[in-house]
Structure 1
Amino acid sequence: MPPTSSFSRRRFLSSTGLLFLIASVPGARAAEHSGTLPWKPFAALPPEPLPGGRWYVLTPDEARTVEAIVDRLIPADELSIGGKDAGCASFIDRQLAGSYGSSDRLYMQGPFVAGLPTQGYQGAETPVARYRDGLAALNKHAQAQFSGKNFFDLAAAEQDQALKDFEAGKVDYKPAAGFFNLVLQNTMEGFFADPIYGGNKDMAGWKFIGFPGARYDYRDYITAHNKPFPLPPLSIAGRPEWKTGDKAGGN
């Protein structure tokens, strides 16, 4: 059979099979006759934002340590707020409270062997366990190097030195470099992720790089090369100044 005929047959079988599947579902059939869509947006995996004002996984000292870390990784300057004010620590805590923190969606059975740098973390510990151990080791290192002070009590230059020691693996903690890279990655995610996940407060990260956010349609601007996007960024949840029930919240 010629390739074109084969392709046409596959396309026909796919389309008729889909129609049969839709017709076999009573709810879908009713929606088809009524003119409405047979599905709801985000029905498969909707974001579930956690209320602010509390820590879900991190202890008070762990939270202070993470806040201090993210503020050194993304220090405030004339261009943008720092990591702490942007909510990066809150983002990390909420991620640890979900499936990411417990590795629920990863294969976590042995054997565990050291992987290549391109393969990422290959160990048995979950992110929650890695944070618990890593933060404790960071404070222990700070206490040993700076007169018994915890990391969050150090001056900025001292915090930078402690983080450099971890990044280079020059501490009495074997996973130091891996832990540093983990926190760095999560901090960047918290600064640039959608605010619905707890970070990127007031979309500061998006404003910093000129990202327009989760808007629906860019057709009016796609040909405007080398020109800044004229509209403010938009979160999945809308904009902070919008009130529930407002009709002005379209894309």
Structure 2
Amino acid sequence: MEHALRFTRREVLKALLAGGPAAAAAGMPTGGAAAQAAGNGTAAPAASTPSTAAAAPYVWRFFNAKEVRAVEAAIDRLIPTDALGPGAKDAGVAVFLDQQLAGAWGSGDHFYKQGPFVAGTPQQGYQLSFTPAQMFRAGLASLDQAAASGGKGAFADLDSAAQDQLLKRMQAGDIPATPLPSAVFFAALLDATIEGYFADPVYGGNRDMASWKLVGFPGAYASYMSDVERHGVAWTRPPISIADAAHGGHGGHMR
């Protein structure tokens, strides 16, 4: 936890570009990673996904009001807003998680669920019976319960220092959460938070393509054939999402 909860945005970006804590976090993968690990595809993008702060209020599909407070508070500590730009909460990562958990990935579609479930080796990855939806529901509840045991209300009611300490305990497996180990939930939450932060905005997170702008990622341009031979020329075009490309926002030369 000493590393995970001291991430600045710059450290997250550097780590991901170098191979990334998303790959190192030992937990259930989401989206494309889940397709490799468990044969499961990413949830289909929802047409109602808000892409800007001016969009209509988002209607939560999986999280209840208490869970929204908990998950937003937790992801805000994992990738906080700083001088470089918005963090996970402000970039809408909770919406990404909500859509994934409400879809096929959340229900464990194509996960092997017949058992027996026994402890595996690190190389074998996730070995428990929980679907992602079950894991997040139980994990967020245990986070609030641990906070309440200290007499200061729910996790979202704690100050940032107390939240960090509780997340450190969760990562270390020190929060009673049987039969779901708290360290397993923490790793899954961190992995999913990072993925949602860098996913295409059509999936709910990375609002206004904030993370792509930070790393200079161009996004979903359909073709680069006009630009591949233009060596040494800076890419100055703004990034576009899958939704933008579908409406003709692609192709052409750099300007």
Bin of the TM-score, shorter chain as denominator length: 0.7 to 0.9
| Residue in 2 that maps onto 1:164 | 168
**1:51 pairs with 48, 51, 67, which one?**
48
Instruction: Kindly indicate whether the alpha-carbon contact (under 8 Å) linking 1:131 and 1:179 is maintained by their aligned counterparts in 2.
Output: yes
- Counterpart residue number, 2:90: 85
Q: Residues 221 and 229 of structure 1 are in contact (CA less than 8 Å); yes or no, is this contact kept in structure 2?
A: no
Structure 2 partner of 1:111: 116
Secondary structure of 2:141's aligned partner: helix
The 10-residue stretch of structure 1 (169-178 or 152-161) with the greater mean CA deviation from structure 2: 169-178
Contact preservation (8 Å) 1:143, 1:151: yes
Per-residue deviation at 1:54? Answer: 1.0
> Which structure is larger by alpha-carbon Rg, 1 or 2?
1
What is the TM-score of this pair, normalised by structure 1? 0.74
SS in 2 for 1:159: helix
One-letter amino acid of the structure 2 residue matched with residue 137 of structure 1: S
Residues 192-203 of structure 1 mapped to structure 2, 5 A cutoff? 192-203=198-209
After the TM superposition, which residues 92-241 of structure 1 pair with which residues of structure 2 at under 5 Å, given as runs?
92-145=97-150, 147-174=151-178, 175-222=181-228, 228-238=234-244
Measure the CA separation in 2 of the matches of 1:149 and 1:209: 38
Structure 2 counterpart of 1:163, which letter?
Answer: L
Relative to 1, partners in 2 of residues 1:224 and 1:68: Cα closer, same or farther, differing over 3 Å?
farther
Kindly state the Cα deviation for residue 115 of structure 1 after the two structures are TM-superposed.
1.8
Give the total of aligned pairs: 200
Q: Which runs of 5+ in 1 are unaligned?
A: 1-44
Task: Classify the secondary structure of the residue corresponding to 1:101.
Answer: coil
Residue matched to 2:11 = none
Partner of 2:249: 249
C-alpha distance in 2, partners of 1:135/1:228?
A: 44
Amino acid at match of 1:187: T
TM-score, with normalisation over the residues of structure 2? 0.73
- Amino acid across the alignment from 1:199: G
Overall identity of the aligned pairs, in %: 47
- Identify which range, 74-83 or 215-224, moves more after superposition: 215-224
- Between 1 and 2, higher relative CO (CA 8 Å, sep ≥ 6) is seen in 2
Deviation at 1:222, TM superposition (A): 3.6
Q: How far apart in 2 are the matches of 1:100 and 1:69?
A: 21
Q: Say whether the 8 Å CA contact 1:210–1:228 is kept in structure 2.
A: no
2:74, 2:232 → 1: CA distance? Answer: 36
> 1:224 deviation in Å?
5.5
Shift of 1:205: 1.2
Residue 109 of structure 1: how far off its partner (Å): 1.3
User: What runs of 5+ residues in structure 2 fail to find an aligned partner?
Assistant: 1-41, 50-57
1:104 Cα deviation from its structure 2 partner: 1.1
Q: Distance in 2 between matches of 1:114 and 1:221?
A: 50
Q: Is the 8 A contact 2:108 2:132 kept in 1?
A: yes
Q: How much has 1:120 moved relative to structure 2? A: 2.1
Q: How many Å apart are 1:144 and its aligned residue?
A: 1.6
